[in-house]
Structure 1
Amino acid sequence: MSQNSDIFKVDVAIAGGGLVGMTLGCALAKGGLKVAVVDFDTPSYQVEGDYDGRASAISYGSAQVFKGIGLWDYIEDHASPIYDVRIADGHPMRGISPLFMHYDHRDLGEEYGEAALGYIIENRQTRVALYKLAKEYETTDAGGELHQFYPVGVDTIERTSHKATLTLTDGRQIEAALAVAADGRKSKIRAEAGIKHNEWNYDQTAIVCTVEHERDHQGTAVELFLPNGPFAMLPMTDGRTNIVWSEKTKLAKEFMDLSEEDFMAELQLRFGDWLGDLKLAGPRFAYPLNLILADHYVEDRLVLAGDAAHGIHPIAGQGYNLGIRDVAALAEILVDAKRLGLDIGSHSILTEYEKWRRFDNVMLAAVCDGLLRLFSNDHASIRLARDLGLAALNKVMPAKKFFMRHAMGVIGDLPRLIRGEKL
């Protein structure tokens, strides 16, 4: 957007207009705050087909957040429900283990009725929906305001006891009560604020692509634990499936360099024939995999959200869901503070957000890391033990229901949006 040389004043300035940054911007605007979102990439570029090939597993709780901020109306037609999840060991040559864990949405009982466990939504479609929703907040008619600054980055942030002033790379300035770093795992804002982080490189790369197939997936998501990393098959709309194939980085490069015919032969070998013959539907993408955990989330007039605070392995499909839970918690705290006439950038208010979110984020990161180390190997004794463990858990309904509810994002101290209540 274009602005004059005067300082543009808002309640909250968000550095990073990706999925988490834009979701937070829309949530805060829904709650009546004036928000600025800054990003290097234009919306038109971010929704191009070759910008991002990933689809995200959106938990039941995250879908509640989407509904609460008005995003669901724009995205529902692109959300493929997950009714069943099957988790098992696999091997490119030996096939799939007969011992497995199976989540069935019908096992949840009357509390959730026929509700899906979650949804698979293409990241591109989520961005399209977020930009449509953001249009509603370009004026004050909808309550709050959301202003997008692009294509431009944040050059510096000057933080005092009373405000944060963002100087953009084109010289413009934004003054806010609070700055939010939602600029990803390599967050420049986090680094310049002196917030340290722990990082672990998994030496794995996620090969991501979308395939068409002969038979209907019927809303079934499958995660196979192959010797070199997990292989996820995620049900999409229009009879398609999104593949997230975690592979050793050296091998992943070799697979990416294969011809389409040879690549599909390798893919079919791992995918199996349960949906019939496969056909590649779009380009292939590759994303390096690592773990990022910030030491803390709060500094004076600054807070971290999403991958700037925590980035995890996609083994459980929870990365964006953690970011959405950050959004729900932070939006609730800031909106409530604003309604009470409090300073939304005060340290005491922001530490409540850190207390609320840090334990959940660290615990899930540790669980995903542990699962990856347990399942990304082909030791016969370990393979037998984990297969028997999956099969045993599959028979213990109370335990299985707990894990299902946890995957749905409805366990713990939940923000109002996740509970289905108004912000």
Structure 2
Amino acid sequence: MSAPRFDVAVVGGGMVGAVLAVALSRADFSVALVEAERPAPFDDASDYDLRLSAIAPGPRRVLDNLGLWAHVEARRCCAFTGMKVWDAGGGPELFLEHTAVGLPELGHIVENALVVDAAWRALDRVELFCPARMAGLSRDADCARLALDDGRELTAALVVGAEGASSPVRAAAGIPTTGWGYGQRCTVGAVTPARHHRHIAWQRFTQTGPVAFLPLADGRCSLAWHADDALAAELAELDHDAFCARLTEASGGVLGEIERMDSRAAFPLKLLHAERYCDHRVALAGDAAHVLHPMAGQGVNLGLLDVAELVAALEAGRAVGRDAGDTRYLRRYQRARMAENLMMMGATDALKRVYGSSNPLARRLREMAVGAASNLAPIRQLMIHHAVGLSGDGPRLLR
């Protein structure tokens, strides 16, 4: 029996991969999705997942246009209307608010698992290969062949690696990466502060990394504490009360005393960028293409923007009779996303280094930059427009 033939085979069924599979199927491409493990159905009665994202209004439109956002919004997510950023060492504060750009909110804090759940419910036009892992990739002139670890094989005009930072598709295609570790870990979990978050995202920069509180629908906050490895190891050894006391101190008591910290975990921080997003019969999306420091909360947003641009490029190719793996249109996707992703990666890397420096000149420069953004409305509006993913014209899924 011959192996099935698809327009696109997506490897990886996480947030970006599953949403991409839905988007391509809704655009009338034949799609296969390869995923090692079917995600568990989202449980509203469970506590908040440790992995959350700040979905900006622009990327949210991708989910909305695919009919996924209604499922997310009906379960649990929390809109935030403002963002306050300040330096533990003093100096001006920066407050960004939704009214500056006429938006009802700056974004929503959403559990990654909830977006995955919404996408998997919408895979009715996608052929699932799950549980299965990619065991091999070969490419001919007119197709790519995926060998799976369960012995099955499938062919497609295009294979998309959307399976994360350690992408097997990227490795099999021989696409090099550039990157480095930051020597930091991010401690995450849900915290209960004495005062309500008021639907504001709070971020205090310290020399060892920023401490961020992201608002949750039940009044708690999702913690993202970026700390140098030595401090992160020290924090991991603290008992509950000692950790809450250290967190109250590190946050400057902005929401009062931290009364409770539920389950917590920590993960290492790094920067990684693929030298190209496409190769013969292969494309990369999401963390398979780019991983950046999470202080600006843009990782998932960039992945959803990848989805919108890749679908648009494949649709443009199909309109002139090209198949989904046509290199000319894959390069159109690469051009559209690489420059913007590199700009965001450069900005977050610079922020990390400037705010992590004790050099007096670096401190003065950041005070001047924050002061300018605080006092000049046009600069503040430009920052918000870019942060929420509304910085310019976009493809169909962003309109």
CA deviation vs aligned residue, 1:325-370 (integer Å, no higher than 9, x gap): 1000001122343355421111111111111111111111111111
Relative to structure 1, the CA distance from residue 71 to residue 255 in structure 2 (aligned partners, 3 Å threshold; closer, same or farther) is same
Change (3 A) 1:46 1:180: farther
**Offset, 1:281:** 5.3
Aligned letter for 2:152? R
Match of 1:41 among 37, 44, 52: 37
Other-structure match for 2:366: 386
- What does residue 248 of structure 2 align with? 268
Match of 1:64 in 2: 61
Listed as ranges, the gaps of 5+ residues in structure 1 are 92-96, 139-144
Report the Cα distance in structure 1 between the residues aligned to 2:42 and 2:286, rounded to whole angstroms. 18
> Cα distance, 1:76 vs. partner?
1.2
Alignment partner of 2:155 out of 162, 170, 175? 175
Q: Does 1:297 align with 2:297?
A: no
2:79 counterpart of 1:81: yes
The residue type equivalent to 1:123 in the other structure is: N
- Tell me, in whole angstroms, the C-alpha distance in 1 between the residues paired with 2:184 and 2:43: 26
For 1:61 and 1:199, locate their aligned partners in 2 and report how far apart those are by CA, in whole Å: 27
From 97, 110, 114, give the equivalent of 1:104. 97
In structure 2, what is the Cα distance between the partners aligned to 1:127 and 1:343?
28
Residue in 2 that maps onto 1:17: 13
The 3-state SS of whatever aligns with 1:61 is helix
The CA deviation string for residues 29-88 of structure 1, in whole angstroms up to 9 with x for no partner, is: 121222111122221289897996121111110111111111111111323112111111
DSSP-derived class of the 1:33 partner: coil
Contact 2:85 2:95 in 1 (8 A): yes
How many angstroms apart in 2 are the aligned matches of 1:344 and 1:310? 22
Q: What letter corresponds to residue 69 of structure 1 in structure 2?
A: L
Find the aligned partners of 1:187 and 1:297 in 2 and give their Cα distance. 12
Q: Please list the CA deviations of residues 218-253 of structure 1 after superposition, one character each: whole Å capped at 9, or x if unmatched.
A: 210111111011221111211121111111112212
**Residue from 284, 287, 296 that aligns with 1:316:** 296
Instruction: Quote the residue 2:144 is aligned against.
Output: 164
The alpha-carbon distance between structure 1 residues 295 and 385, as it changes in their structure 2 partners (threshold 3 A), is closer
Superposition misfits of 4+ residues, deviation over 6 angstroms? 45-51
Tell me the residue number matched to 1:410.
390
Deviation sequence 1:197-236 (CA, Å, 0-9, x none)? 1011110111111112343212101111110112211112
Cα distance per residue 1:156-186 (max 9 Å; x no partner): 1111111111111111112111100112111
Contact 2:63–2:69 under 8 Å retained in 1: yes
Task: Tell me, in whole angstroms, the C-alpha distance in 1 between the residues paired with 2:64 and 2:320.
Answer: 25
Provide the rounded CA distance (Å) in 2 between the counterparts of 1:45 and 1:60.
25
Separation (CA, whole Å) in 1 of partners of 2:360 and 2:151: 60
Percent identity, aligned pairs only? 35
Between the aligned partners of 1:130 and 1:51, the Cα distance in structure 2 is 19
Pairwise CA RMSD: 2.1
Q: Give the 5 Å matches for 1:103-122.
A: 103-108=96-101, 112=102, 114-122=103-111
Are the counterparts in 1 of residues 12 and 162 from structure 2 also a CA contact under 8 Å? yes
1:262-283 Cα distance to aligned partner (Å, 9 max, x none): 1111112123433334344531
Question: What runs of 5+ residues in structure 2 fail to find an aligned partner?
Answer: none
- Distance, in Å, in 2 between the alignment partners of 1:280 and 1:152 is 40
The answer to whether 1:31 aligns with 2:27 is yes
The answer to whether the Cα contact below 8 Å between 1:32 and 1:335 also exists between their aligned partners in 2 is: no
Assess if the C-alpha contact under 8 Å between 2:186 and 2:227 holds in 1: yes
Q: What is the SS of the residue equivalent to 1:73?
A: helix
Which TM-score applies when normalising by structure 2?
0.94
Paired with 1:51 and 1:348, the residues of 2 have a C-alpha distance of 43
Q: Does 1:329 align with 2:345?
A: no
Q: What is the correspondence of 1:210-221 to structure 2 with a 5 Å cutoff? A: 210-221=190-201
Alpha-carbon distance in 1 for matches of 2:220, 2:371: 29
Q: Distance in 2 between matches of 1:220 and 1:174?
A: 47
Q: Which amino acid aligns with 1:18?
A: G
Q: Give deviations 1:75-111, integer Å, cap 9, x for gaps.
A: 11323112111111026xxxxx362111111121xxx
Deviations 1:107-144 (A, max 9, x none): 21xxx3x421111111122222222233xxx2xxxxxx
Paired AA for residue 198 in structure 2 = Q
Matches within 5 A, 1:155-304: 155-280=135-260, 282-304=262-284
Q: 1:6 to 1:249 in 2, by over 3 A?
A: farther
Q: How many pairs were matched up?
A: 397
TM-score of the superposition, structure 1-length normalised? Answer: 0.89
> Which secondary structure state, in structure 1, belongs to the residue aligned with residue 87 of structure 2?
strand
